[in-house]
Structure formats: structure tokens, C-alpha cells
Amino acid sequence: MRSVAIVRTLDSYPNHMDLVRFLRASAPQVVFLGIESRQHALELAEWIEGQQPGTQIIVVSRSNDAGALLEVMRAGIREFLSEPFDPATLREALRRVELILDRKPATIQATDSVYAFLPAKAGVGASTLAVNTSVAAAELCETKVLLMDFDLTCGMVGFMMRIDSPHSIVSAAELALEMDELQWENIVTERVMGKLDVLPAGRLAPGFRIEPNQIHHLLDFARRNYQAICLDLSGMMEKYSVEVLRESKRIFLVCTPEVPSLHLAREKLVYLRSLDLADRVSILLNRAHKRSLIPTSEVESVLGLPVFLSFPNDYEAVHQALTAGKSIKANSDLGKKCRSLAESMMASQLVTA
């Protein structure tokens, strides 16, 4: 029998909204449901099945009430435990539940829209594109978008968005294994009328390393709670960055039409091929203009990949946005390109994990 862990204990029956938040945060496969209030308990069981089909419910009762047992069985719940609880009986119930979950796991809604912005080198504007594309995606969404800054040595997202918070991606990583919806709300910062949540890199933390299991827990949590997730990376290819890239649906490799940038972009492509990630890469050519010394066709020849989207060198728009601590104006040339990228990202909707 697989291991069983208690991920959350609720001391009262949640309302529908709190239940949805709990399921998205914890994604339990099995729920032990007290039946002190039979009506509330059975209503809750129905909500759980509607929100997360296939979740197994084990009813627990203070007494072996035949009437309660009959009503529970009529509701489609097959496991009923009553005091005094016998370890052997509990193990047998869990064994039956495990067999059901092996045949048909619980259906958990999660998005596959995870996008990593990977700079070919420092200074190519990957953070600018990540921030403004995230803002544009949030404006397009009916639900929330998440932006996470994984650049622990030089993260710029907090500065660009004027976020003054003691919490950061480091805070989230430290709490990753025990994260719940209440902790998450205290850590993230809201932007775009509450439609964009941001986790900045926070204070410089070059010695901090995010472990792979922390990455998996964070992104699993995020997938269940957001329609799209944008990840801003340092480009240094740290171990945790590689884990982030493995979790991403698309890797936006950001470069500029300059020799050093293209050289390092090509080196990163070689490395990504060694990780079997090259098929996820899309090239974003930033600061491109008609009179570039290296035209787009030559960029594509050097990298061996087509340019997915080019962004203009709009220094004035970027400067104004940084000065104001706001996103680039949507009607600027650069703003329009960021919206185009966001539209291509948001063409992907929620999928079943």
C-alpha cells in the first residue's frame, strides 16, 4: 500500500468557495469526512465529486449508526469507519481505496500553460518581455496569471513592478512542501486589478538553492490555481533553473541581433538539446529593427531555428514604464508585440492532469 500522509485538517465543514480553494491547493486523493452533521457531510461529498471527480471519500463516525451507514451508501460512498477505530479495518479500507485510485485516479484540473523566459545573456530584455507579456495575458484571462522570478542573483521583476514585499520566490520555496491557499495569498503580490499574481526574486540570494522537490510542489500548486504561469530565469542554467525548464511547456529563448547574444543563444540551444528540451524552444528576437547589422534571416541561420516573434527596440517606452513602475503602454509597438505573444500563449486552455 502506498504511503498515506495528512495534508490538511479542517475543523469545520467548508463552504463551497473554501472547498474549491482547498482542493486546488492540496489536491487530495482521499478525504476522511466526519458525519456529525449528516446533511452537511453528504452535501460536501457531492461538491467534492463535482469539483474533483474520482476523489475517494472515507466517512468517519463516532458511532456505528445503521441509519447513517445506509444513507452514506445511498450517496455512493462505500467506506464507513466508526469508533473505536481498528488499525486493521483502516488498512483494509485504504487498500480498497488504493485499488480504485489505481484503476481510475482522481481528476485534478491543472493548466499545462507554463512558459519560461530564458535570456541568451544578461541584458537582452527577457525580464521586460516576461513582465509585459504576463500583464497582457492577465488582461486577456478570465482567471488569474502567475509571474515568478527565479533569478536569485539579479531578479528585476520586483523593481520593474515596484513591489515592496518581504515575501519572494525564496519564501515560497521554503514553504513549498506545506503550502496551502492561505499561505500563498500572504506571499504573492497582486497586480492588474487582481488578475496577475507576482512572486519576485526578493533580496539577492546567490547562495540559496531551490531543491527539485520544491520546484515540483510549487509548480504543481500553481498549475491548479492559475490559467497561465510565466517564469523569468537568470540564464545561468542553475540546477533549479534546469528543473524549471523541464516543467515548462514552452521555453522562450530571448536574444538580440548581436554577435555575443547569438553566440550564447546557440550555446544554450546545444545544452538544451542535450537535455532533450530543444523541441520546446521558441526564439524571441528582442530589440530588432529594419537596419539591424544582423538581419532576422541570418539570426535564424545561426541558431538553426525560426524566429517565433520579433520585438522592436522601443527604448523610450521601456524607460517610461520603468520610471513609472508600470507596464509598457498597450498601444506602443512593443506593447502590441507583447500582447501578440500573450494571445499565442492563451490559445492553450485548462487541461486535465
Question: Using one digit for the tens of pLDDT, what is the confidence trace for 195-249?
Answer: 999 999 988 777 778 898 999 999 999 999 999 999 999 999 999 999 999 999 9
Within a domain: 89: yes
Domain assignment of residue 71, given as a range: 16-103
Is the domain of 75 the same as that of 169? no
Q: Using CA atoms, how far apart are residues 265 and 55, in angstroms rounded to an integer?
A: 45
Q: Which residues are within 8 A (CB) of 100 and not within 5 positions of it... i.e. 6 or more apart?
A: 56
- Indicate whether 7 belongs to any domain: no
Asked whether residue 95 falls in the same domain as residue 160, the answer is no
Domain membership flag for residue 178: yes
Q: Are 259 and 347 contained in the same domain?
A: yes
**Is residue 119 located within the same domain as residue 261?**
yes
| Together in a domain, 154 and 84 | no
Do strands 189-191 and 196-199 pair parallel, antiparallel, or not at all (unpaired)? Answer: antiparallel
Which helix (H) or strand (E) is 338 found in, with range? helix 333-346
Report the helix count and the strand count for the chain, using DSSP H and E: 14, 13
Q: Are residues 213 and 326 in the same domain?
A: yes
CATH code of the domain containing 280:
3.40.50.300
User: How many distinct structural domains can be found in the chain?
Assistant: 2
> CB-hemisphere CA count at 13 Å for 3?
3
Do 150 and 271 reside in the same domain of the chain?
yes
Q: What is the pTM assigned to this prediction?
A: 0.83
Strands 196-199 and 109-110, by their bridges, are unpaired
pLDDT at res. 2:
59
Instruction: Answer with the one of 103, 138, 165 that is the final residue of a domain.
Output: 103
Query: Looking at the domain assignment, is residue 3 inside a domain?
Result: no
Phi-psi domain of 329 (left: phi exceeds 0; alpha: psi -120 through 50; beta: other)? beta
Distance CA 204, CA 154 (A): 7
Whether residue 125 sits in one domain with residue 60 = no
Query: What pLDDT sits at residue 348?
Result: 61
- How much is the pLDDT for 351? 40
Provide the residue type at 227 as one letter: Q
> Which among 103, 129, 160 is the end of a domain?
103
**How would DSSP label each residue in 160-220?**
HTT---S--HHHHHHTGGG--HHHHHHHSEEETTTTEEEE---S--TT----HHHHHHHHH
Q: Does 122 share its domain with 238?
A: yes
Identify the CATH number of the domain in which residue 26 sits. 3.40.50.2300
- pLDDT tens-digit series, residues 280-328: 999 999 999 877 889 999 999 999 999 999 999 988 888 888 888 788 9
Let me know whether 251 and 205 are in one domain. yes
Q: Is 123 found in the same domain as 79?
A: no
The Cα-based distances of 159 to 82, 179, 334, 352 in angstroms read 56, 26, 20, 35
Q: How far is 127 from 149, CA to CA, in rounded Å?
A: 9
Q: How far is CA 210 from CA 88, 122, 184, 244, in A?
A: 40, 21, 17, 10
Would you state the pLDDT for residue 215? 92
Q: Same domain for 93 and 141?
A: no
Residues of the chain under the 50 pLDDT cut = 350-353
Cα 37 off chain centre by: 36
- Which of 62, 81, 103 terminates a domain? The answer is 103
Cell of 54: 474520482
